[in-house]
Structure 1
Amino acid sequence: MNAHPSHFRPAPEGPRPDLARITPPARPLGPWCLFRTIVRNPLEAWPEAIYREPLYVSEFLGNTSLFVMAPNLIRQVMVDEADAFEKSEVLRRALSPALGDAILTADGARWRWQRRAAAPIFRAERIRSFVPAMIAAAERTREALAAEAGAEVDIAQTMMRTTFEIIVETMLSGHGAIDAARVETGITDYLESTSWIFALTLLRAPAWMPYPGRAKAERAKTYLRDELLRLAAEGRRTGTDGRNDLMSLLLAARDPETGQAMDDRDVADNLLTFVTAGHETTALALTWAFYLLAHHPEAEALVAAEVEAATGGGPLTADHVDALPYTRQVILEAMRLYPPVPVVVRAALRDVDLGGTPVKAGTPITLPIYAVHRHAALWDHPERFDPGRFAPEAAKARDRYAYLPFAAGPRICIGMGFALAEAVAILAVLVRAFRFSLRPGYRPELKQRITLRPAEGMPMRVTPR
């Protein structure tokens, strides 16, 4: 699985850096310890067996849930019998208050028609038309970093702002004034509360149950929903003629079977879904890629060399972004070690059989993507950073359902192509210009708040190459 691109030499073997990771408990946690751990960081509650076994049955206060790690069983849940599973209660309670009944949180017929409505914006030719805007945003970030050369910057925050700028430009056509810093803060404040929702759902507590930070999360939710509702109403009022962005498509969308249109609330819910998911996840993939390259300067040098070879020393263009296989492999490997969405949770709609294990209707099914990506039976040296895992011949030899940064099946991330093009473009622009080094002695703490964030950001020194 560790073949390298033929035109690049493999990194020399030697001492491996101690990369940030979750240290799982050797045995399942007791009820009180489990509750506290989930509130602090849900990933830390997964026992070591989840990184070794194909399927794991968890019991908590008489309630059963399943962790599924075997690729054939993941395929059964996400593809072969996808109609037997729905979004879990914990996901609905965590995200629906902010995102409503939009494409990420809806199920059934409502999900299908929203997916059809949004699909045209993510066709390959449309994504390609967005790449110049992605490169331009990366170049503005490059100029901003050049002005701070030698100083320490938080790359996590820098990437959040860069990808947010791209989302506003491509999904909203720069439509309306939107306060990027306040939206970013609102998203963080809302997501910060989600670990409490996970823990209280496990206890089967009612949705109205108060918890620390709930009022702050409610304020953030109200601001985010009101802001996107304002943009939707403004877009409908000013018209969509000549626009090819997501807002215009959603405003004009009609269900081909019923003729139903989206009202402003539907449009706002979906816009907020794409603004939130679309910039947060790509920013995190890039943040972790810069972290890994700082620990592997030989790989960083290969990215810079590949970009120079592709461009001939000239400006990066959309054509070049398609011709950077190693740079893309770095992004893919960063998303293996640090998947931006580290877990997917479903619930069985009916009684099913998973690999000989009977599963009753209503049972929560956890697909622990972070653990699957580091599973001892699926990956050679799973803790090691090795972009060569994603060379074409290595990827072809691996089970498709061992690697799930964008999920899989009918509900595979609709923005996958957009996110990969964006991440490659940004990484290429910045790595050819700068070297990135971590604050000495800094080891980021992994924190799950729906997405997988570095708890205290990613302080890095940026120096011109």
Structure 2
Amino acid sequence: MNRETEALTMMADAAVEIAPEIPFRSRRSSLAVLTSLLRNPLSAIPSEAFSEKLVLSRVAGRDSLYICDPALIQEALLRNAGALGKGDTLRRVLGPALGQGLLTADGAHWRWQRRAVAAGFQHDSLAGFLPAMIAAAEATRDGWLDKETWLDKTRPRDIGHEMMRTTFAIIIETMLSGSGDFDAGKVEGAITDYLEPSNFMFAYSLLRAPEWLPYPGRRRALASVAYLRETLGAMVAKRRASGEHRNDLVDMLLASADPESGRAMSDAEIVDNLLTFVTAGHETTALGLAWTFHLLAQNRAIEDAVLAEIEAVTGRNALKPEHVMALPLTKAVFQEAMRLYPPAPIITRQVEEPFQLGGVTLKQGMVLYVPIQAVHRHERLWDQPDLFDPARFLGEAARRRHRYAYLPFGAGPRICIGSAFATMEAVAILAVLLRAIRLKPLTQEPPEPTLKITLRPKRPLLMTVAARA
């Protein structure tokens, strides 16, 4: 019996012809949408996106289309990828910090950067990061259980912040050779300060407001960007001048070159990509883990099944890198948490060249949204879409699902290059912490997710920590 079959026991894409679709037109007014954006951008997704295939919306005189059907998403993001760009909104929100890195660049500039860094994210390269991932998880575990550093075991922990610290330590160690060149805590705080006012950035972009127009948190966000870029820029310049090699992401970017032109990255382009990986690389995984711990605390039978799998694989020994690849249920639990709470809950594109989608003509300048939050809970795609059920990602259920029905890392040529890194990291952290720690939520009140570029709980996920017997 293989591990997937055992996990299921514990739990007791071909191309298709796209039929013409008539988009459902959202009845929400521009004022209602803009109000939602300022309150919580997640609530700006039309309710019809959870049941319809296409939803047309018009806000401030600008047409946008929500694509909620897997086949149509594949048609847009894969077969028509060349006709789409990232768009003005994404550049306005993320451009000041991430410049023209992998997440924000388009066209040839994106393609050569993607080729340049791809080798560093192949499976053989990623496997070498597992010891650092396990060590960071063990440091978190030991800190939680240390009697001298934490005397009051009833004091609740903000599990989201704790996971941010853990994944940030992993990113700093694996990609920047440790935090010796800068204050890691200050860098982490600056990233949070930059993301905080993102709802105003989105709303102002839709209104085409001038970029100098003030909004709450703007001054702090801009100061944070300046600090991040100056700090990482100084580190890159120092490394380039010294010629020192540390076998990390900085080294890889310094040595990278376009295979076609031989062009190397400038210091500014390296900073663009370092900030992309540092920001996206710890934020999304940490949030996925926080939501996972919340869901397991509400579903103890599933948690017990995960613990049984971990014990069966490790034999009660310390977690080793080879164990991480043999935990299908643990991985499925993380995948299901990211279905219910996708850390990056929406994909945005802008039509650069007109094309047909499901019989609908998409004109130049039109904004396309793939509302991942809605797709992952779509009533036509999932049985009991709001139910936490990791078995969806095991065995036949996982194999028969349309690959574009589940998009926690995006889709098409621009799928997140770090998806395998993030999944491996999450499984390692879960395996270390769950077998040693039992987390109990401070309240049974369901947390409200809110969109701040990433999907965060509106209030901290406070949990108490107890050692397992």
TM-score normalized by the length of structure 2: 0.93
Distance 1:36 1:61 in 2: 12
Distance 1:64 1:5 in 2: 47
Question: 1:158 and 2:167 equivalent?
Answer: no
Displacement of 1:31 in angstroms is 2.3
Which residue of structure 1 lines up, in the alignment, with residue 291 of structure 2? Answer: 288
Which residue of structure 2 lines up, in the alignment, with residue 142 of structure 1? Answer: 141
**Residues 425-440 of structure 1: matches in 2 within 5 Å?**
425-440=428-443
Displacement of 1:150 in angstroms is 3.9
Which residue of structure 2 lines up, in the alignment, with residue 18 of structure 1? Answer: none
Secondary structure of residue in 1 paired with 2:356: strand
Which residue of structure 2 lines up, in the alignment, with residue 348 of structure 1? Answer: 351
Distance 1:145 1:255 in 2: 45
Question: 1:88 and 2:87 equivalent?
Answer: yes
Which residue of structure 2 lines up, in the alignment, with residue 221 of structure 1? Answer: 225
Distance 2:446 2:179 in 1: 39
Give CA deviations for 1:321-362 in whole Å, capped at 9, x if unaligned: 001000000000000000010001001111111101111011
Which residue of structure 2 lines up, in the alignment, with residue 110 of structure 1? Answer: 109
**Residues 142-221 of structure 1: matches in 2 within 5 Å?**
142-147=141-146, 148=150, 149-174=153-178, 176-221=180-225
**Alpha-carbon contact 1:29-1:45 (below 8 Å) kept:** no
Secondary structure of residue in 1 paired with 2:236: helix
Segments of 5+ residues of structure 1 without an aligned counterpart are: 13-25
Give CA deviations for 1:408-436 in whole Å, capped at 9, x if unaligned: 11111000110000000000000000111
Give CA deviations for 1:196-230 in whole Å, capped at 9, x if unaligned: 11111111212222222111111111111111112
Distance 1:6 1:264 in 2: 49
AA matched with 1:437:
K
**Alpha-carbon contact 1:153-1:459 (below 8 Å) kept:** yes
Displacement of 1:121 in angstroms is 1.2
Distance 1:168 1:329 in 2: 27
Displacement of 1:33 in angstroms is 2.6
Distance 2:367 2:389 in 1: 33
Give CA deviations for 1:125-175 in whole Å, capped at 9, x if unaligned: 110010011001100000011124443111100100100000011011226
Which residue of structure 2 lines up, in the alignment, with residue 72 of structure 1? Answer: 71
Aligned in 2, Cα 1:6/1:255: closer, same or farther, shift over 3 Å? same
Distance 2:34 2:88 in 1: 17
Secondary structure of residue in 2 paired with 1:262: coil
Displacement of 1:257 in angstroms is 1.9
TM-score normalized by the length of structure 1: 0.93
AA matched with 1:302:
A
AA matched with 1:338:
Y
Paired residue total: 448
**Alpha-carbon contact 1:176-1:231 (below 8 Å) kept:** no
Residue range with higher mean Cα deviation, 167-176 or 411-420: 167-176
Aligned in 2, Cα 1:49/1:118: closer, same or farther, shift over 3 Å? same
Residue range with higher mean Cα deviation, 111-120 or 26-35: 26-35
Distance 1:162 1:273 in 2: 18
Which residue of structure 1 lines up, in the alignment, with residue 18 of structure 2? Answer: none
CA RMSD of aligned residues (A): 1.6
Which residue of structure 1 lines up, in the alignment, with residue 322 of structure 2? Answer: 319
Secondary structure of residue in 1 paired with 2:128: helix
Which residue of structure 2 lines up, in the alignment, with residue 452 of structure 1? Answer: 455
Distance 2:75 2:200 in 1: 30
AA matched with 1:170:
T
Secondary structure of residue in 2 paired with 1:335: helix
Aligned in 2, Cα 1:350/1:27: closer, same or farther, shift over 3 Å? closer
**Alpha-carbon contact 2:7-2:309 (below 8 Å) kept:** no
Secondary structure of residue in 2 paired with 1:269: helix
**Alpha-carbon contact 1:232-1:247 (below 8 Å) kept:** yes
Displacement of 1:7 in angstroms is 4.4
Displacement of 1:177 in angstroms is 3.1
Give CA deviations for 1:251-302 in whole Å, capped at 9, x if unaligned: 1111122221111111111111100000001101100000100100111111
Distance 2:241 2:164 in 1: 30
**Alpha-carbon contact 1:8-1:302 (below 8 Å) kept:** no
Segments of 5+ residues of structure 2 without an aligned counterpart are: 13-24
Distance 1:109 1:280 in 2: 27
AA matched with 1:132:
P
Secondary structure of residue in 1 paired with 2:65: strand
